[in-house]
């Protein structure tokens, strides 16, 4: 039976990985290897587990064929519709959602490609359904730091912090901003505090970038050309609008003026039946003041905080990529709900005897004799010659590692070549870069310099 | 071994043929050697640590002193023993041995306590270790008996309400339930989370969802619209029933809708026309049975409310709210006392809405009912359903209010639209009821300290039932106000018979 789907899932995989340019210069961010699967596989699998049968994947035009070939090899049952966007204009997440507006007929579940988590989507979806919310978002508690040494030059990785204000009684999201917008002080409107008397302000929550949006939000976005990112601009705007009242229709003025038709409250109008049901139902989401349910707001934004034992990481910076690779195989059962984990792909040529249990080896890798591997990821079609050792590293596809190379704590991007006799510790090696013979490097970025700057 | 001796003095030690323990034998040997050669002290040092393996490294240094003291003591005792042997029998030997051991223990304890206090705590720890070991042993002994107890704890059910427990499972799907329209999925979540509470509200919400379903449905080519719609509606209703039991009002509304659907299936109109007809059916049902009936009831009760009345109401009924707001807008001066009951505390919503209108209200909880009842002039109650034998099914607590009102001789009026009349016959609240989460009764969100009932969670002998409805007998009710007339309770079957076959 073909009934209209309750939610349509959109996965945003057109990000350029601008926070970690050293490893994303030659490779789409969504295809970075995390354990045995590419990064974008994790949100897609989670959507599949939740019951979605198709998903729209937003990708960059030039990366589409690569992503498609990689995803076809993974055995995903979910039907993926690729939506290419041009990489020449600098399009944000909201821009890509705007371009999709005619395909989106129902409420939208927006997921970013870089989320690795074991959380269930039921919590945020049930809150969305229960309160007939306009926006529902999911937050994680921050995972403790591992103290792992991140490869590359030592730089203070300042994590981007979000300030999230949640009304304790009703779980409504009343304040959302990035901490970098404020220098030393944060001011809240008095009306907000009068309305929501008990607000908890968090600065250490990780925004999962899972947003459930009502259909009218997409239509509103289509009418406003000024928003370019969902998280940075669209959401804070809608959260602020919760506090405003719809403009009163004064008699004598024409209702069809341009300004009125673009007002958010025109889009967010609730139908009279919902209002009638709300009036007759003896439910109130808050108590303590003599106001009606939801204070009569037609725009309602909710924030769901995942339980503390949930694991959720956004893989958009180098330290998070490094830690997630370390932890993903431990958390595999929880993340995938019992999918079998095959660390070593069957089609590899493994002549090495010292490959430990934690190593992940992708298809077509060639490991010669007398090599030693500990806790590493070896990408597909990578060849490692004799007398080399790879410890604690991530080696991506089509890499050649010659003899007597010692690699420790490194990330080697696609197509690189490491000539014999190198001793490399804690470095980031860019794609298609050749590290000359007998070189020793520690905590550096080795790359062809013209790759880093992209205009 | 020494520690064991100190902690368990009562345990017997292994005694060999000569009637001496190992230690005593060793001591004897040592004494002999000591007597012979003072040089052999070094050997003694070696011998003693070897003979007593579980010793700290510090001890060999100290044991020489102990040994030397021991030697002296033992020499003394041996002399005494030898003397006593000649004099008395074995008892005294035993006593002297016991005294020997006791004295040795005391001296060792004193020395150790003189050294550090840590050693005594170690003994305490050992005692504690022994206790949990014992407990663990007990637990290991009775794993079988404990497990079924734990299982009972999780799924504790009372036998006589076993039929009321619901086992709702949705499997693993979180979205895109097969065969269930999204509006019904949303409705299911809203019902189970008690976001929509009250029989009128639930019925209205259900009918709105059915309207959405009518608008969205696309009949597959080879099937007839009405039959296909019925199957779709059936699967949606099954989903809703899993979320929460249907209300009587919902069932009646659906029965009416289904008869209309069957009537339409015989006609030859195109599908679009049928859809419009169905939408109209639903709209008229809501209009006639809910809105207009509410108006009619309100007018009838308005005549009965006089100026200066004190009206008591229980919980939150949308109909009672409408009646009171209409009476107030017509200028009548009256007061309202709202009685509230846990765990829903719906009375607060009633209070909020009445105060917003501007009615003079008081608010009490159930325990103050007798106190306020003497001030009351009439009692207005809402109903979930009216049963054929005249009983009124309503929110739990209503029967209590009616009982106290009757004791004080106050008139009780139950206001109920005719579409809530049911063909069921119930005389008690157990046969047909709904159970809610018992945790809600234990938690008290209005108190800051933890609830006094929190201890009951662990008590196996105490079960907590959170029932939602109760049944009020007709002799406690003065009259039932319906849109047709003000009737005595027992006239319910007459109404059912006279109303057209909408039920």
Does A397 reside within a domain? yes
The residue behind tokens 């198709």 is A54
**B186 → closest Cβ in A129, A287, A291:** A129
- Asked whether A94 and A221 are in contact (CB, 8 A), the reply is yes
ipTM over 0.90: no
Whether A343 maps to a domain, the answer reads: no
- My answer on whether A102 and A237 are in the same domain is yes
Residues A299 and A436 in one domain: no
Put simply, whether B181 touches A (Cβ < 8 Å) is: yes
Are residue A369 and residue A321 in the same domain, yes or no? Answer: no
Domain of A422, CATH number, reads 2.160.10.10
Tell me whether B173 touches chain A (CB under 8 Å). yes
Put simply, whether A275 touches B (Cβ < 8 Å) is no
Residues A305 and A354 in one domain: no
Q: Is residue A307 part of a domain?
A: yes
Asked if A40 and A143 sit in the same domain, the reply is yes
Q: Is B198 on the interface with A (CB under 8 A)?
A: yes
- Any domain includes A411: yes
Given CB atoms, is A340 within the 8 Å cutoff of chain B?
no
pLDDT digits 0-9 by tens, A107-135: 999 999 999 998 889 999 999 999 999 99
Same domain, A331 and A353: no
Q: Which residues lie below 8 Å from residue A435, measured CB to CB, with a gap of 6+?
A: A416, A417, A418, A419, A422, A424, A429, A441, A446
Residue A1 touches chain B, beta carbons under 8 Å: yes
Q: Which of A336, A362, A386 is the last residue of a domain?
A: A336
Whether residues B346 and A282 touch (CB distance < 8 A) is answered with: yes
Q: Please judge whether B198 and A132 are an interchain contact, meaning their C-beta atoms are less than 8 angstroms apart.
A: no
Domain extent for A410: 349-452
Q: With respect to residue A254, please indicate whether it lies within any of the assigned structural domains.
A: no
**Pick from A312, A336, A360: which residue ends a domain?**
A336
CA-to-CA distance for B479 and B412, rounded, in angstroms? 7
Q: Supply the pLDDT for residue B52.
A: 46
Partner residue opposite B190 with nearest CB, options A121, A125, A130: A130
Q: Which of B182, B208, B316 sits opposite A6 (nearest CB)?
A: B182
Cis link prior to A204 (omega < 30° from 0)? no
Same domain (yes/no): A158, A277: yes
φ, ψ of residue A401 to 5 degrees: the values are: -115, 115
State whether residue B342 sits within 8 Å of chain A by CB: no
Mutate to test the interface with A, among B176, B282, B314 (most CBs of A within 10 A): B176
Q: Give the model confidence (pLDDT) of B440-451 as tens digits.
A: 888 776 555 667
CATH code for position A194: 3.90.550.10
Q: What is the pLDDT along chain A (455 residues), one digit of tens a residue?
A: 457 788 999 999 988 888 888 888 878 888 898 888 899 999 999 999 888 988 999 999 888 999 999 898 888 889 999 999 888 888 888 999 999 989 998 999 999 999 999 888 999 999 999 999 999 999 999 887 667 778 877 777 777 889 999 998 899 999 999 988 888 888 899 999 999 989 999 998 999 999 999 999 999 999 988 988 999 899 999 999 998 888 776 665 555 554 556 788 888 888 888 888 888 888 888 877 888 888 888 899 999 999 988 888 888 888 888 888 888 888 888 888 777 777 878 777 888 878 888 888 888 888 888 888 888 888 888 888 888 888 888 898 888 988 888 988 888 888 888 888 889 888 888 888 888 888 888 888 888 765 554 44
Selected for mutation to probe chain B from A277, A285, A290 (highest B CB count within 10 Å) is: A277
Whether residue A158 sits in one domain with residue A35 = yes
The pLDDT value given to residue A158: 74
CA atoms of B497 and B503, how far apart (whole Å): 10
With a cut of 70, list the residues of chain B below it in pLDDT: 1-14, 16, 37-67, 85-96, 116-156, 168-173, 445-450, 500-503
Nearest Cα neighbor of B335 from B298, B363, B370 is B363
- Residue tagged 């005619």 (tokens): A102
Which is it for the CA torsion A275, A276, A277, A283, positive or negative?
Answer: positive
Q: Does A275 lie in the same domain as A311?
A: yes
Do A68 and A213 sit in the same domain of this protein? yes
Do A234 and A125 share a structural domain? yes
Do the beta carbons of residue B324 and residue B311 sit within 8 Å? yes
State the total domains in chain A. 2
In a domain, residue A2? The reply is no
Q: Is A150 inside a domain boundary?
A: yes
User: Of A284, A313, A336, which marks where a domain is finished?
Assistant: A336
Contact present, A397 and A379 (Cβ < 8 Å): yes
- What is the count of residue pairs from A and B with beta carbons less than 8 Å apart? 106
Within a domain: A284: yes
User: B196 vs A277: CB contact, 8 Å cut-off?
Assistant: yes
Report which of B318, B447, B352, B338 is spatially closest to residue A289, judged by C-alpha positions. Answer: B352
A120 touches chain B (CB under 8 A): yes
Domain co-membership, A147 together with A288: yes
């Amino acid at each position: 039976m073909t009934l209209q789907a309750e939610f349509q899932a959109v996965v945003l995989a057109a990000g350029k990985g601008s926070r970690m340019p050293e490893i994303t210069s030659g490779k789409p961010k969504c295809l970075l290897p995390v354990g045995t699967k590419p990064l974008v596989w994790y949100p897609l699998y989670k959507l599949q587990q939740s019951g979605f049968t198709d998903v729209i994947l937003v990708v960059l035009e030039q990366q589409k064929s690569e992503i498609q070939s990689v995803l076809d090899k993974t055995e995903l049952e979910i039907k993926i519709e690729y939506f290419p966007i041009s990489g020449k204009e600098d399009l944000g997440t909201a821009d890509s959602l705007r371009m999709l507006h005619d395909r989106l007929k129902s409420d939208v579940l927006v997921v970013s490609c870089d989320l690795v988590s074991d959380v269930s989507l039921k919590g945020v979806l049930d809150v969305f359904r229960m309160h007939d919310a306009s926006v529902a978002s999911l937050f994680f508690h921050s995972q403790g730091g591992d103290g792992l040494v991140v490869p590359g030059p030592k730089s203070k990785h300042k994590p981007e912090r979000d300030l999230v204000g949640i009304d304790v009684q009703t779980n409504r999201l009343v304040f959302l901003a990035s901490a970098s917008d404020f220098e030393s002080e944060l001011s809240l409107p008095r009306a907000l505090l009068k309305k929501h008397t008990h607000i908890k302000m968090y600065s250490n929550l990780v925004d999962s970038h899972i947003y459930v949006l009502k259909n009218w939000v997409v239509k509103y976005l289509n009418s406003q050309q000024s928003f370019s990112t969902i998280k940075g601009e669209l959401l804070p705007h809608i959260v602020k609008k919760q506090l405003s009242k719809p403009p009163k229709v004064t008699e004598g003025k024409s209702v069809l003026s341009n300004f009125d038709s673009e007002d958010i409250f025109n889009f967010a109008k609730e139908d009279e039946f919902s209002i009638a049901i709300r009036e007759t139902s003896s439910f109130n989401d808050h108590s303590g003041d003599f106001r009606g349910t939801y204070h009569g707001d037609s725009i309602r934004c909710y924030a769901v905080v995942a339980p503390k034992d949930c694991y959720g990481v956004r893989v958009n910076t180098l330290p998070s990529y490094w830690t997630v690779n370390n932890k993903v195989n431990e958390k595999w059962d929880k993340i995938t709900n019992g999918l079998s984990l095959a660390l070593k792909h069957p089609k590899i040529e493994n002549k090495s005897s010292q490959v430990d249990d934690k190593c992940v080896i992708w298809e077509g890798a060639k490991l010669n004799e007398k090599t030693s591997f500990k806790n590493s990821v070896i990408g597909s079609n990578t060849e490692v010659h004799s007398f080399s050792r790879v410890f604690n590293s991530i080696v991506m596809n089509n890499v050649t590692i010659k003899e007597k190379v010692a690699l420790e704590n490194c990330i080697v991007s696609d197509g690189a070549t490491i000539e014999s006799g190198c001793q490399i510790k804690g470095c980031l090696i860019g794609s298609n870069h050749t590290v000359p013979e007998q070189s020793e490097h520690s905590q550096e970025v080795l790359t062809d310099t013209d790759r880093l700057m992209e205009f | 071994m020494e520690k064991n001796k100190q902690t368990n003095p009562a345990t017997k030690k292994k005694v060999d043929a000569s009637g001496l323990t190992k230690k005593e034998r060793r001591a004897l040997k040592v004494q002999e050697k000591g007597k012979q050669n003072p040089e052999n002290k070094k050997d003694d040092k070696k011998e003693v640590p070897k003979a007593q393996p579980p010793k700290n490294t510090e001890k060999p240094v100290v044991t020489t002193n102990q040994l030397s003291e021991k030697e002296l003591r033992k020499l003394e005792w041996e002399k005494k023993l030898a003397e006593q042997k000649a004099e008395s029998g074995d008892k005294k030997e035993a006593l002297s041995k016991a005294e020997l051991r006791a004295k040795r223990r005391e001296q060792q304890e004193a020395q150790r306590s003189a050294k550090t206090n840590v050693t005594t705590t170690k003994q305490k720890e050992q005692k504690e270790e022994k206790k949990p070991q014992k407990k663990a042993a007990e637990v290991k002994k009775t794993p079988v008996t404990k497990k079924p107890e734990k299982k009972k704890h999780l799924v504790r059910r009372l036998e006589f309400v076993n039929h009321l427990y619901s086992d709702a499972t949705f499997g693993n799907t979180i979205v895109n339930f097969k065969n269930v329209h999204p509006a019904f999925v949303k409705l299911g979540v809203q019902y189970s989370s008690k976001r929509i509470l009250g029989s009128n509200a639930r019925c209205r919400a259900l009918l709105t969802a059915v309207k959405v379903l009518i608008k969205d449905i696309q009949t597959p080519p080879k099937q007839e619209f009405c039959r296909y719609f019925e199957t779709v509606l059936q699967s949606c209703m099954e989903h809703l029933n899993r979320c929460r039991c249907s209300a009587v009002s919902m069932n009646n509304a659906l029965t009416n809708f289904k008869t209309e659907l069957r009537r339409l299936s015989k006609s030859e109109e195109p599908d679009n026309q049928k859809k419009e007809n169905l939408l109209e059916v639903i709209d008229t049902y809501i209009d006639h049975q809910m809105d207009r009936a509410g108006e009619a009831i309100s007018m009838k009760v308005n005549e009965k409310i006089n100026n200066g009345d004190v009206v008591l109401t229980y919980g939150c009924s949308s109909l009672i709210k409408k009646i009171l707001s209409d009476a107030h807008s017509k200028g009548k001066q009256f007061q309202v006392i709202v009685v509230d009951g846990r765990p829903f505390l719906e009375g607060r919503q009633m209070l909020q809405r009445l105060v917003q209108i501007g009615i003079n209200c008081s608010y009490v909880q159930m325990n103050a009912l007798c106190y306020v009842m003497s001030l009351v002039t009439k009692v207005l109650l809402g109903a979930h359903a009216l049963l054929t034998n005249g009983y009124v099914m309503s929110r739990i607590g209503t029967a209590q209010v009616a009982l106290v009102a009757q004791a004080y001789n106050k008139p009780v009026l139950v206001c109920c639209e005719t579409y809530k009349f049911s063909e069921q016959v119930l005389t008690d609240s157990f046969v047909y009821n709904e159970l809610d989460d018992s945790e809600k009764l234990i938690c008290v969100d209005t108190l800051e300290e933890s609830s006094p009932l929190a201890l009951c969670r662990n008590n196996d002998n105490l079960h907590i039932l959170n029932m939602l409805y109760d049944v009020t007998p007709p002799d406690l009710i003065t009259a039932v106000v319906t849109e047709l007339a003000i009737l005595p309770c027992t006239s319910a079957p007459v109404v059912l018979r006279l109303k057209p076959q909408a039920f």
